[in-house]
Structure 1
Amino acid sequence: MEDYCRTSSKSSWPELVGVKGEVAAEIIMRENGKVVAIIVKEGFEVTMDYRCDRVWVWVDHHGIVKYTPRIG
C-alpha cells in the first residue's frame, strides 16, 4: 500500500476553494489520474479511513467548495 500511495502527482488543491464542486472534481481527476474526487455536502458524514485514491470535495448548500480538497 505504501508504494501505491506514493505519487509525484498533485495531492491538494487550495485554488479550488470557491469553485463549483462539479468543476473542482473534474479538475482534480484531470490533474491526478490516480484519484477519484467525491463531492460531499457540508454536514454529511463520511468514512474516516485514509485512502490515497480518494479526494473528498466538501461543498456548501450552493455547491461551492468550502475547504481545500486533498487526498485522503
Structure 2
Amino acid sequence: MASICEQVEQGKTSWPELVGETGECAATTIKNENPLVNTRIILEGTVIPLIYICDRVLIWVNDKGITIQTPTIG
C-alpha cells in the first residue's frame, strides 16, 4: 500500500492559476482537485515553521484575502 505522501503526490501538487483568487476560492478548488490534501489559509507576514508536510497546502493571502503566491504541497 502506498504511503499518504505517495498518494497525495499522484494528484495535482501546485496551483499557479489560483494567484489572484480569494483564499477561500483557492482552498475549495484545491480540495476539489486533490481531496487528499489539507489546506490552510495564512495571512501574509505570519510566521510559521517551514516544515515540509506532504499533505498540506498553505494558501498565502494578503490583507484583502487574495492569494499572493502559488499554493504548493508542502
TM over 0.5: yes
CA distance in 1, matches of 2:35, 2:56: 11
Partner of 2:5: 5
Distance 1:69 1:52 in 2: 13
Which structure 1 residue ranges, 5 or more long, are not aligned? none
| Separation in structure 1 between the aligned mates of residue 36 and residue 48 of structure 2, nearest angstrom | 20
Q: Percent identity?
A: 46
* 1:56-71 equivalences in 2 (<5 Å): 56-71=58-73
**What is the aligned length?**
71
Structure 2 distance, partners of 1:50, 1:68, is: 16
Considering only aligned residues, what root-mean-square deviation do their CA atoms show, in Å? 1.3
Q: Structure 1-normalised TM-score?
A: 0.92
Matched residue, 2:26: 24
Q: TM-score, normalised by structure 2?
A: 0.89
Letter in 2 for 1:4: I
Unaligned runs of 5+ in 2: none
